[in-house]
Amino acid sequence: MAGRNRAGWVILGGGVAALAVLAYVNAGRPRGKRDSAPGHAARRWRWGGYAVEAYTVTIARPRSELYAFWRRFQNLPQVMENVDTITEEGDTTRWTIRAPMGQTVEVATRIVTDRPDEVIAWSAVEGSQIDTSGKVMFADAPGGRGTQVTAIIAWDPPFGRLGQLVAKASARAPAMQARHELKRLKMLMETGEIATSARRPAE
């Protein structure tokens, strides 16, 4: 009887000690200090009021070529299936984007950062249907593999989390769009065409 009691105390004591050790170890880590993973790989789904989606692809072409392709926005519908049209008026670019359930969304953006061969960043102007900003970055890939292209898109999903899930379910979510678009960009730049298993051209 006494033996069993002693064992109980030992286990309880051990547990308390373990908690103390955990607390000590955690205290050593300042709260909010991040690991080496990029912010967009974080488990949280919102940053402030925004959902953030991003994707990186390595393309076996020089930075300058990829920057030049992207900077000429009229090129982008070639790789962006969800973008119907792009028009430029002065420093404002107007995008017509296909959204879930047959809707289209008008977004007008203005370039906020433009460093040749490095980064292009844009932000929605007043009156856009979606509050969004994004940037595409170009960095030399290690080992002479070409360029790492990262696209980051922050957006305020209409109807919040629900809107984000609906967009995801209908393959209209920015994350999936960005992934598909960057892969199409890679195909076009590396092979001169975009792969399709269609047996005949679309009629």
Residues binding another protein (CB under 8 A): 58, 60, 145-146, 176, 180, 183-184, 186-187, 190-201
Question: For residues 115 and 145, which CB has a smaller minimum distance to another protein in the complex?
Answer: 145
The closest of 72, 78, 56 to 138, measured between CA atoms, is 56
**Shortest separation between residue 181's beta carbon and another protein, angstroms:** 8
Question: For residues 46 and 168, which CB has a smaller minimum distance to another protein in the complex?
Answer: 168
The closest of 192, 149, 151 to 57, measured between CA atoms, is 149
- 142 residue type, one letter: P
Alpha-carbon distance 160 to 172, whole Å?
A: 15
**Shortest separation between residue 91's beta carbon and another protein, angstroms:** 31
Question: For residues 56 and 128, which CB has a smaller minimum distance to another protein in the complex?
Answer: 56
Question: For residues 108 and 187, which CB has a smaller minimum distance to another protein in the complex?
Answer: 187
Contacts of 170-177 with CB under 8 Å at 24 or more apart are 170/100, 170/101, 172/82, 172/98, 172/99, 172/100, 173/53, 174/51, 174/53, 175/53, 175/54, 175/55, 177/80, 177/81, 177/82
Question: For residues 40 and 180, which CB has a smaller minimum distance to another protein in the complex?
Answer: 180
Please answer whether residues 23 and 16 qualify as being in contact, where contact means their C-beta atoms are separated by less than 8 angstroms. no
**Shortest separation between residue 58's beta carbon and another protein, angstroms:** 7
Question: For residues 124 and 174, which CB has a smaller minimum distance to another protein in the complex?
Answer: 174
**Shortest separation between residue 158's beta carbon and another protein, angstroms:** 24
Placement of tokens 């547990």 in the chain: 15
The closest of 107, 121, 114 to 156, measured between CA atoms, is 107
Helices (H), the chain: 2-27, 63-71, 160-169, 174-191
**Shortest separation between residue 149's beta carbon and another protein, angstroms:** 13
**Shortest separation between residue 198's beta carbon and another protein, angstroms:** 6
